[in-house]
Each structure stands twice: as C-alpha cells, then as structure tokens.
Amino acid sequence: MYRYDEFDAEIVRERIEEFRAQVERRLKGEITEDQFKPLRLMNGLYLQLHAYMLRVAIPYGTLSSRQLARLARIARDFDKGYGHFTTRQNIQYNWVRLVDVVPILEALAEVEMHAIQTSGNCIRNVTADHFAAAAADEVDDPRVWSEIIRQWSTFHPEFSFLPRKFKIAVTAAETDRAAVQVHDIGLHLKKRDGKLAFTVYVGGGQGRTPFVAPAIRDDLAPEDLLSYLEAILRVYNRAGRRDNLYKSRIKILVSALGAEEFARQVEEEWRLSDRARIDLPADEEQRIRDYFAPPCFRTLKDADAGFEAARARDAAFARWVSTNVHSHRTPGYASVTISLKPVGGIPGDATAAQMEAVAALGKRYSFDEIRVSHEQNLILPHVEKADLHDLWQALKENGLATPNAGLISDIIACPGLDYCDLANARSIPIAQGISNRFADLEQQAQIGELKIKISGCINACGHHHVGHIGILGVDKHGEEFYQILLGGRGDERAKLGKITGKGLPAEAIPDAIARIVARYIALRTDESERFIDAYERLGPKPFEEALYAEIKELAA
Amino acid sequence: MKMLTAHDLKTGAVVYWSGDGRWTPRIADAALLEDAAAAEALKAAEAAETVIVHPYLVPMDQPAAPIARERVRELIRARGPSTHPEFARP
Ligand code: HEM
Ligand code: SF4
C-alpha cells in the first residue's frame, strides 16, 4: 500500500509548522480573516453553518487499520464523536475548533495523512474504483495511476493556481464505479489489442452546468499519461476563463471549443512538449507499483463449504451476502460493502466506535485494508469467504450490517442545509425520509438496484445529476423545495438525469418516490430489468406521470 | 429589523450580538436592531477580528424569528443540525 515517502513527510511537516504560525498570527490579529481564509482553505479548513469543518484526504479511498483508527480517535477527541465520509472519498469533521486544527493535523501526519489538496483551485484528491485490486473485471490497479498522478500534481508549481478546482478519477475495470465521465478528467484504463491503453475523458462535471465528458483519446499508452495530462492542463490553464467563476471549469472550455478542437489543441501541445522530462521512467512506475503489491492471498478453492452452509442456514446472512458481498478475482475471497446507510440513518456518517470496529475487522479479515467508496460506504476489499459469517456477525453488533448496497436506501446525500453554508435546502432528512419509507428490506430487495442521489444545492456534491433518481434542493422564498430528476447514471454509460416538472415540498418526497417505484414495478419486464433499464426502454413519460399523478388529482 | 450574527473565532461556534457589548450563543438573546444601529454594530464587529469571524446581518421581524430566504438556514444555525437533535441548543 502507498506510504508517503520522505519527500511527502517533510512537506507535510513543513506545512503544519507554517499553518501553526498562521493560526497564531490570526488569533493575535496580526493577519485578517481575508488574509487567513485562503491559507486555512489550503489546509482543508472551511467555515460552515455551525463551526469549522476539516476535510481530510483519503487518497483513492484506501486506508490502513491504523489510519482508520486514527480517524476515529480524532472524531472522539476533537469532534462530537463522528465523521462524514463523502462522495470524493474524503472524510469531513463538522465540529472542529480552530485551536485544535494543528493538533489534528499532527495526529494525521503520524499516520501519513493530511488535508492538503482538499480545497482550492488545484488538482484535488484523485479518486478511484473502490474495488481496486480486488475486482474480477479489472485490467490493472487504478491506484498505481492515481498515485502517479498524485505525486506529479501535488504542489506542481504550474498547476497550483488553476482557473478552478480540478478533479481527476481513474478506473481500470469494465464497470465504472468511480464515475469517471463526470470529472474534469476521467481515465478509463482498458485492454486494447492486448495492450493497456487509457480512454481519456475531458470536461465532465456536475454543478450548475453538468456535462458528461467526451472522450478525446481512446488509445493513450500508459507511459505517456503524465505528459498528456500536462498538455490538457496547459491548454486549460491558458484558455480557461478566470474572469467568471461559473465559466472557469474545463467543461465550459471543452464545450465552447468542441471536443474535436480541444483534442486537436491538446495533441499539438503534447507533440511540442518535452515528454521525456515529464513522463515517468519505467523504474519509477515500478517503485510506485510496489507500494500496491497485492497481499499474500492463500491458495483456496473458490467455493467454501462453511460459507455455503451458513448461507443456506441463515436467511438474514444470505440476504446480506446477496447485496453486500461482491466477487473477487482471487478464488476463495470476496469484497464486502459495509453499509453506512442504516434504515433512517445519515448517509456516510460513522461514529468513532464504528470506525474503530471497522479498523479492527479490516486488520483481522482484510489484510489491514479498508476502502472508502464514492457512494459513502466502507469496503473491506479482500475477505476470505470462510470468514464472511463471522465478519457479518461482528458488523451486526456495530450496526454496520444493513443489507442494502446498491438498493433504494443506499442513498448518496450531501450535507445540505444541516451543515453547509452554500445550501438551499436540507438533503439528509430527505434521504432519511425515503429510507424510512422503504424500511422493509425484503421490499427493497424486490425493487432491486436503484440509485438515489441528493444535493442541497446546484453545486451537486450529492451527484443528483447522475442518480437513477436525482433530488435537488431549491429555495423558494425561504421554503425548501425539491426538484426530481430521472434517468441519470454515473457508470460507464454515464448520462445526466432529466429534470421533471415543478418542485415538491419535503414531506411529499417519500410518496413521490414510492409512486415512481410502483410504476416501475408494474412496467418492468421481470425482476432482471433494473429501474434504469426500464427507464431507458420506456422513456420518462410513464414515470413523470406517476410522479405527478397524485398532485394532479389534488389540483383537480 | 435585523440581528447580527457571527462565529466565535477560536471555536467556530455560532454567536449573536446581544446589544450590550456581549456575544451570546442563544438566538433568543440576540438584539433586534434598527437598520442604522445594525449597520453600526456590523462595522464594529468587522473590526473585532480577534474575537469573531464572518459577521453578517439577518433580517427579522421579531426576536428569534429570521425571515425571508434566511429563515430555514438561520433556524438550523441557531439550533444545530436538524438531523442531530441530541446536539440541539436551547
Ligand atoms: C460542506 C461543505 C462543502 C462545500 C462548501 C462544498 C462546495 C462545493 C462547490 C462550491 C462545488 C461546485 C464547484 C464548481 O462547480 O466549480 C462543489 C462541487 C462538488 N462537491 Fe462539494 N462542497 C461541500 C461538501 C461536499 C461533500 C460533503 C461532498 C461529498 C459528499 C462534496 C462533493 C462534491 C463533488 C463531487 C463536487 C463536484 C461537482 C462537479 O463536478 O462540479 N462536497 N462543492
Ligand atoms: S451540493 Fe450544495 S448543499 Fe450540498 S454540500 Fe455541496 S455546496 Fe453544500
């Protein structure tokens, strides 16, 4: 696994010392808030509705037990005993005090963590498939490339002051679990004629003006990655609009130029660039690859008799297995989704005790590795099938065994107006309302895969544009209203959801979702046709009709 | 009418201007200010950089009752996240 090297450790230490001095000067009034704000943001510290919020980076969502246990301790010692895992594979602490931030950063540095690149107009924490190095459909470990990008981009002098923040995501599996096509740059590594090649998507994004990124290359040799990324960033840095916040993202530039013209400019820039200087030598790539050496899997038969017996005997366990256990490429192993979405709970929140429990279970059952998924769950990537029943029981004791991964209550929700200074409306209570409405897990399983994503404002931190059902909070004269979107998806066939008619008040949402679901159940060919498949076959009309049915009756 | 609110610099906690020289954590104790007095209080708060951060005015028509676009937001700010009643403030 990645360990930050000497260079990183030194820089992180220097940054903490620098920040300590900056905080002291701020407290003494030697610098103003206007001067201090960009400095604290560079260290991941925001001011939110109730308090300061600290965002800590979890590069490509990979954690060791020791790191997760440390995150738990910080939650207990410096916060109100919990943390919030985000769609960007980060963790946010909602209640930190300014005077505690330096001690927190020190505690993080001891376990090789930090809050750098979680804010500001730089290349942000690179995200990746949470089943990296475990998924059967993978051609390479995407974290190797994420880490190469991280090392290249961290403190890159040319790219520390971009027109706007910049997000890169990487997947190397057939199924895209990292939503790469809605990032500024999405990298999808595939096998092409027996060789690895990146498909390069540029100019995707959500927010006010959402775009699914066009692919500008589908045959980029991995060894050319950094020089090619640098060429993209150069074109953007030169031409991106710095004068208008809403037009400053690369997606606006790509859309204004057209993908072809943008690609042409990138190719030209790339051909002229000093590629030998930028690209990573093979031995460097190998050095980084070694960080991600696979664990020492045992040689096992794929089927495990004890596991099969437990599954046959214990229906609750079998249900959890069918949703939260995923096939692994190594015989006898599986990956496990630990749901942070208990019925009626707060999506993505974990208490200190839960984090500690998962840290211990990761150590015991998953080679000391834990992942954070962009769907706000935790993952144990490498569990022996023979251990699954014991693991499930331990998770149950900690309220972490909800069998709902991928189901209607596995909702993504941003913090919304309960925490966020930019929000128009609350998101979390909407998620809770839907989750309670569908509390019957049997019913959820019958509905099947359905991804609901909720944002409290147009910034789209909750990915509402790519939810099968998306929900967007809007403000109407001081009241919270919710706009519903249908048919979005964030996978390898990414699409933006279609905005339906007028917004609904919070209390109408659970029933509105229930009507859409009932219509889907009535119309699906059989259980194998997922909601999104039925939507794509039938179009929005029947679902929109169902959504507004009751409302029309009321009006009539 | 307006109230003046901000965050405590050291802790980030929500505070309100009481009108008698103090910052208070309770919205119920926030002073209801006429426009001119509010502007003046804001100016003084902006100068109190070592005590508070991000001061701003909120429209009100009676004590502890923010109005208009800020209504829901300010009520959540005053009480704490609606999703964590255990952290609610009086
Ligand atoms: C609570 C503090 C937060 C603030 C102030 C904040 C602010 C913002 C803003 C202003 C944008 C739009 C940027 C733009 O269009 O250029 C944005 C985008 C985004 N945020 Fe947040 N956010 C917060 C929390 C979160 C959380 C908790 C998550 C994860 C659950 C998140 C994930 C994202 C993502 C994925 C985007 C990308 C949308 C895009 O492609 O433009 N944010 N955020
Ligand atoms: S989508 Fe809006 S409300 Fe939600 S976290 Fe992002 S900025 Fe805040």
Cβ(A83)–Cβ(A92) under 8 Å?
yes
CATH number for the domain formed by residue range(s) A412-555: 3.30.413.10
CB-ligand 1 contact for A62 (6 Å cutoff): no
Backbone dihedral region for residue A39 (phi beyond 0: left; psi -120 to 50: alpha; all else: beta): alpha
- Select the residue from B56, B76, B89 to test the A interface by mutation, using most A Cβ atoms within 10 A: B76
- Residue with CA at minimum distance from ligand 1 atom 15: A207
Q: Is B67 on the interface with A (CB under 8 A)?
A: yes
pLDDT of residue A554: 45
Q: Is B46 on the interface with A (CB under 8 A)?
A: no
Supply the ipTM of this predicted assembly: 0.94
pLDDT of residue B29: 93
Phi/psi for A132 (5° steps) reads: -50, 140
CB-ligand 2 contact for A460 (6 Å cutoff): yes
- Tell me, in angstroms, the distance from the centre of ligand 1 to residue A458's CA: 9
Cβ(A425)–Cβ(A505) under 8 Å?
no
How far apart CA B76 and CA A94 sit, in angstroms, is 14
CB–CB contact B73 A52 (8 Å):
no
Q: Among A125-139, A411-425, A461-475, which is the least confidently predicted range?
A: A125-139
CATH 3.30.413.10 positions along chain A are: 127-291, 412-555
- Cβ-Cβ contacts under 8 Å, A477 against chain B: 68-69
Confidence of residue A2 (pLDDT cuts 50, 70, 90): very low
Q: Using DSSP, state whether B2 is helix, strand or coil.
A: strand
The pLDDT tens digits of the residues spanning A132-175 come to 999 999 999 999 999 899 888 876 777 776 767 788 999 999 99
Strands A498-499 and B14-17: unpaired
pLDDT, chain A, mean: 92
Percentage of chain A beyond pLDDT 70 is: 94
CATH 3.30.413.10 for domain A127-291, yes or no, is yes
Q: Using DSSP, state whether A128 is helix, strand or coil.
A: strand
- Residue with CA at minimum distance from ligand 1 atom 21: A461
The pLDDT tens digits of the residues spanning A352-364 come to 999 999 999 999 9
For B25, name the nearest residue in chain A, comparing CA atoms only. A50
How far apart CA A431 and CA A421 sit, in angstroms, is 19
Average pLDDT over residues A319-328: 97
Whether the predicted pLDDT of A125 surpasses 60: yes
CATH number for the domain formed by residue range(s) A305-397: 3.90.480.20
Average pLDDT over residues A443-451: 96
Which of B7, B73, B83 is closest, CB to CB, to A429?
Answer: B83
Rounded to two decimals, the pTM is 0.92
Percentage of chain B beyond pLDDT 70 is: 99
pLDDT of residue A555: 44
Whether the predicted pLDDT of A67 surpasses 70: yes
How far apart CA A442 and CA A520 sit, in angstroms, is 17
CB-ligand 1 contact for A47 (6 Å cutoff): no
What is the residue-wise DSSP string for A181-212?
A: GGSSEEEEEEEETTEEEEEEEES-B-TTS-BP
Q: In this structure, which topology does domain A6-109 adopt according to CATH? A: Alpha-Beta Plaits (3.30.70)
CA atoms within 13 A on the CB side of A387: 20
Q: Using DSSP, state whether A350 is helix, strand or coil.
A: strand
